[in-house]
Amino acid sequence: MEITNVTEYQAIAKKRLPKMIYDYYASGAEDEWTLQENREAFARILFRPRILIDVSKIDMTTTVLGFKLSMPIMIAPSAMQKMAHPDGEYATARAASAAGTIMTLSSWATSSVEEVASTGPGIRFFQLYVYKNRKVVEQLVRRAEQAGFKAIALTVDTPRLGRREADIKNRFVLPPNLTLKNFEGLDLGKMDQANDSGLASYVAGQIDRTLSWKDVKWLQSITTLPILVKGVITGEDSRLAVENGAAGIIVSNHGARQLDYVPATISALEEVVQAARGQIPVFLDGGVRRGTDVFKALALGAAGVFIGRPVVFSLAAAGEAGVSNVLKMLRDEFELTMALSGCSSLADITRNHVVTEAEKLGVMPSRL
């Protein structure tokens, strides 16, 4: 059967993967209300396409932190990708590089920063959790720098792990043949007591609950890499991110895996964008499955989007070719959406190209 859209990979992944692994990737926190809402909120935003505009040439190129990309669609950090496919993060890195876009490597990856770098050239970001032992954080950052990674995506919505009931029921553990490669060869101090299978739960338990804005300053003091703050969903925190020197913001609710009943990221986006006042770029992840979703995010002020689950599901279904196909389908759909909306470049996409639920209800002032 020919795959015609991104969502179709999920059913294939569900068939192919052991239940424990599929559920780890697919599930959200608690009632999974936000998980569903991340998708449904996109469906409540409608288009206001402009007609009779020359769209014979469409330019989707953009720059992110000064790096030239083929499109504003990038890869979000997803942990433990070798659970989905033996090639894991290697395949994702090659697909991203071939598509001319950015891959963000999870610090809980089953391939190391050096291994990912060995796949060849490419623009890569490194996702970071801050651990109680700051020496471990420093070692991770150094390794990412030395491996040629270009930015740090600091996850800030996880002082504790969210409650994912499927993982509890399945007694989720990292399969015994895999390991969290970025922690191999580190001086872990007290961390050494954990064996490989215990490492994942042990590392999760080492996340620092005292993490605050002063630690963002500390991180800037130990690295020259730009820092993206990942997990901002309010205007208040958007302002603080700007004030504390973040290079950018990723509006994210951690794929709805942390606090349930937070709004969909597409619903929170505009508030965060307005509070940032154009001082730093704002990106979005969560629920992006169509080119139309990408357009909606850009119309509401995002500088680009990151995709997570579509990567691991397509990886499970077809390895590197699956990830490449997801990037191609999203690119093609986004290009078509631009053409049909009357936009020949990203700069042409404006707030007037979409209408949100709030406006339909007359909450927002009319644009005319």
- Give the residue numbers marked as catalytic: 254
Which of 303, 306, 357 is closest to 65 using CA atoms?
303
* Residues paired with 151 in a beta bridge: 125
What SS3 class is residue 184?
Answer: coil
- Buried/exposed code over 213-239 (b: 16+ C-beta within 10 A; e: otherwise): bebbeebbeebebbbbbbbbbebebbb
Contact 201, 79 (CB under 8 A): no
List the Cα angle 20/287/324 in 5-degree steps: 75
List the Cα angle 105/111/115 in 5-degree steps: 95
Q: Encoding tokens for residue 234? A: 């309010």
Max CA pair span of the chain: 67
Which of 255, 249, 254, 253 is closest to 229 using CA atoms?
249
Contact 271, 235 (CB under 8 A): yes
Q: What are the DSSP E strand ranges found in the chain?
A: 46-47, 62-64, 67-69, 73-75, 103-105, 124-128, 151-155, 227-232, 248-251, 282-285, 304-307, 354-355
Q: What are the DSSP E strand ranges found in 225-309?
A: 227-232, 248-251, 282-285, 304-307
Number of neighbours of residue 68 by Cβ within 10 angstroms: 10
Tell me the backbone φ, ψ of residue 306, rounded to 5 degrees: -120, 140
| Residue carrying structure tokens 């499109």 | 71
Q: Encoding tokens for residue 141? A: 């950052």
